Chain A
Amino acid sequence: MDSRGYFIPAGIGFKKENTFFRNKYGEVEIEVCSANRQLVEECIRKIILARENCLLRTSIKKIVQIIDKASSNLSDEKYSLRKEAEDVLPVTTGLSPQMLSLGMDALTTTFRKENMLNMLYSELGDPKYLDGFRKSKAGESKALGKELIVNVFGSGGVPGLQVMGIVNALLMKSAVFSKPDSGEPVLPSIYARAIADVDPRLADAIALFPWKGGDPEFADLEACVFSERKENEAVVVFGSDETIRNVKKKVSPECAFIAYPPRTGLIMVAKEKLTKNNAKNLAERMAWDICMYDQKACFSPQYVYLEEGGKVSPEEFAGILSKEMDRMGEKFPVGELTDIAKTRINERRRTYELQEIIGSAKIFNPKGGLVIFERNRALETPITYRTIHVMSVNILSEVLGLIKPFEKHVQTVGIEAGEEEFREFSDILSLRGDVSRITTPGNMYRFPPSAHHDGRKNFDGFIKWVDRIA
């Protein structure tokens, strides 16, 4: 057995099975547990008990220290769980070992003390509200996280999201039950085990294991996980519109339900920034945004819009971007392509080979990617896997019309423009669709945990405030 795809609190008996994952990075044997209703019931009972006996009695400062230590351990290449992650995750996630390592570094940096405290201050004003009544503008106030948070992860999300679900729950002193992506249940298990290495009692408030969502075989189990949830609990879904719809139907109406649907990103560049001096640097920064997690994240840009009239033409810039993506492809190769991805990339490339012949496009083939300079500004569905559509506009504000058909899915926008124009477009875009993060190219993939997620605070919907007014 190379790793595990579950985390079950101590003292619960369950049946284990082995499953194999295989791709170009190797073959690994992952132990999973046999999922059934009884196991869910026992896990939920145990983690709620652990919350009462441990989480609620542990100061938030201590909880932050424990998670910080777990992250610190995982940042050490010599730590056994880090080694396990590096060995196994390229096979289960499909990300290249180099990208996976980069992702692990990012994750272990994110969930460190300073970042977590910043988030807590940002969310609550003072993290100590989670420990008990403290002075507030209302007199004295206390913050209580939900008794239980159920996280559901659909397929294909970036690995760190599942860890974020666990960490956020613990920071709110909520017991957490996660249904990980059955295609990648290993990383959340590794993180939970890393926390258990530091403090097993705290880790007892975590349970996770996968099952095939929506399968009639698990109807009874899902009734327990979703339909029998209570008022002081929450179900959070990260997944496709279909996954969200299917889960929402099952969740009891008393329970809080929060959904994070699919999202996308785009980049806009003003002509003043398309200069010989800036082009290479800009392309390099963009290449990071595009290549990170193989463009599969909610923040990943799928379209780039460049204003005409700069010293570097949009078509020329597409070539420069291709070179930088080529460099990224050398350093952080694209991961394993699924058969579906291969089909779609092939279809897209074939379509644009023809478009290039008739003069409507120019295509570039950087290592592990595809850059399409699209003259007709055709709106094509994103393929991810480092396939980027680059288009020109006469003036930057034209972008607002072009993105209308899909703006409700846009989360993150990277704007490269003068300060005034940056602010102007930030204001305009903030009113459009679900745009909730505006930054500069090169920063789309990095944001602190204190940043809002999809337009809301991380703890929104999970915290009950109690005021004591004497």
Chain B
Amino acid sequence: MSYLETCDTMLNHPNPFNMDIEEANALRLAAIQGSFEHHYKNNAVYRAFCDKFGVKPDDIRTFDDITKIALITSDFFKQVSAYKEEDLFKIISIPPEKIVTYFTTSGTTGKPSKYPFDRNSLARLNKSNAQILKCLADISVDDKFMFLTPDLKHTVTGLVHGMYQSIETCIGKERAQEQVRFAQKIDDGGEAHYQLDDLLNIMAGGGIVHLFGPPFAYKDIAEMLLKSRQIIKMAEKSKAFMSGGWKGRQDAMITPKELGQLINGAFGIEERNIRDGLGLTDVFSWLLECEKKRKHVPPWMHVSARKESDSLKDLEKTMPKNQEGIMAFLTPIIESYPAFLTTGDLGALTTDFDAKCECGRIGPTVEYRRRSGDPRGCALEELKKMQTSAFVFVEKERYEGHVKTT
């Protein structure tokens, strides 16, 4: 079986988060081995980079060897995208004519990063995100969704488009058109307004309604509802999904506990059904919380916390469970570029690869802690850096190979 077939085996599994642990890890290893070999053989730049670390495909024999794979920094993509976009083609692992689109990350500041994609990788990513949603959120085809965001025409963020696509994949295109609504309207002046009436109407229709949006949108709407003394009692299995953090709204930031209480008070959604998602923008995925508030890593991904060090080789060493380290993300489902990345963020594994979470699903699970801070010094601590928890779905740029067609 090719490594891509191995990926598809995992992606098409009826419930990948309930696979046999050994089987899941064996497939994970096989897929990553194959993916590493693919990028090593087909990507001269990445191969030269691996040679600096002295790591070759033959060196990845056991599960523990996965951490030897040379990690690219998300800063590299940022730089190349910002300062010499044509160099992006130097980091692709497929013939340039297979590139069909670029996704661009964006944040509140700084310059965006662009990532090249082929059709197959796009399809697998969509399947991945849909599986994550389906298996961790227990959604069914009759469920309705209310996005606390502008609609697809008025936003380009992956937060919205990616989630919509995942829902489409889960419940079907036609149902998605019927059962998904958006709570923010953009007026002629470009200002966004929450439409509480739409929200209340969809609730009044009965049935399960899942909410989705960034945390500040929940806070805004909850406060509006509480102020106008309109409390909604959502159906028992309704969930509140959030992602994207407090980008651009740090002034509004409250603790997760406070936000949970607000959501419970305004929408009647229980704590166990409030689910945060960790956006992994560099691999265009997200890790969703289970009912035990742990973010699950699917079998087609490898996430670990690595030991901080100033030695290039030392990023191979992983931190034990619950101990903080530099997060490293590897996924074999992207063919176009080596999706073996470190972002400089700090986190920890909260369930090991060979264990199960309290929810009953297989591990691992991870916890994002923070951005690695600034070194000591009264010299300039930080220029504004781009925060990449949301990605921009830029399909308006279509490519055939490296030639833009639209």
Contact = CB atoms under 8 A, between A and B. Distances in A.
B355 interface: no
Given A347-B73, A354-B72, A355-B79, A298 B375 contact: no
B310 interface: yes
A339 B306 CA distance: 12
A381 B308 CA distance: 19
Contacts of B174: none
A155 B376 contact: yes
A291 to B, nearest CB: 13
Contacts of B253: none
Interface stretch (A156-164, A206-214, A217-225): A156-164
A353 B50 CA distance: 11
A262 B380 contact: yes
B375 A338 contact: yes
Interface stretch (A46-54, A66-74, A307-315, A372-380): A372-380
B48 interface: yes
A337 interface: yes
B90 interface: yes
A347 B342 contact: yes
A385 to B, nearest CB: 6
A354 B377 contact: no
Interface string A344-378: 11111111011101101000000000000000111
Interface size class of B (residues with CB under 8 A): 35 or more
Contacts of B48: 357
Contacts of B72: 350, 354
A350 B82 CA distance: 18
B378 A383 contact: no
A24 interface: no
Contacts of A294: 377
Contacts of A161: 378
Contacts of B91: 354, 358
A384 interface: yes
Contact of A360 (B71, B84, B309): B84
A338 B309 CA distance: 9
B385 A156 contact: no
B252 interface: no
Contacts of B382: 381
Contacts of B45: 354, 357-358
A264 B308 contact: no
Interface string A160-194: 01000000000000000000000100000000000
Contact of B380 (A154, A302, A337, A343): A302
Contact of B76 (A94, A157, A338, A355): A355
Contacts of B373: 340
B278 to A, nearest CB: 19
A377 B381 CA distance: 19
Contacts of A349: 310, 312
A341 B309 CA distance: 9
Chain B CB within 10 A, most for which of A156, A346, A378: A346
Q: Is the interface of B mostly helix, strand, loop or mixed?
A: mixed
Nearest to B87: A358
Contacts of A239: 378
B49 interface: yes
A350 B382 CA distance: 19
Interface in B66-95: 71-73, 75-76, 79-80, 82-84, 87, 90-91
A350 B380 contact: no
Interface size class of A (residues with CB under 8 A): 35 or more
A406 interface: yes
A213 to B, nearest CB: 15
Contacts of A340: 308, 372-376
A382 B342 contact: no
B52 interface: yes
A263 interface: yes
A409 interface: yes
A300 interface: yes
Interface in A256-313: 262-265, 294-298, 300, 302
A337 B310 CA distance: 9
Nearest to B310: A342
Interface in A397-430: 405-406, 409
Contact of A379 (B73, B310, B376, B383): B383
A353 B312 contact: yes
B315 interface: yes
B375 A385 contact: yes
Contacts of A59: none
Chain A CB within 10 A, most for which of B48, B76, B312, B375: B375
A384 B75 contact: no
21 contacts: A94-B376, A154-B378, A156-B376, A156-B381, A158-B378, A264-B380, A265-B379, A340-B308, A342-B309, A343-B372, A346-B310, A350-B71, A357-B49, A376-B84, A378-B83, A380-B79, A381-B374, A382-B380, A382-B383, A384-B379, A409-B380
Given A379-B383, A406-B383, 12 more contacts: A158-B378, A263-B379, A296-B376, A340-B376, A341-B375, A355-B79, A358-B87, A360-B87, A381-B383, A384-B377, A406-B380, A409-B383
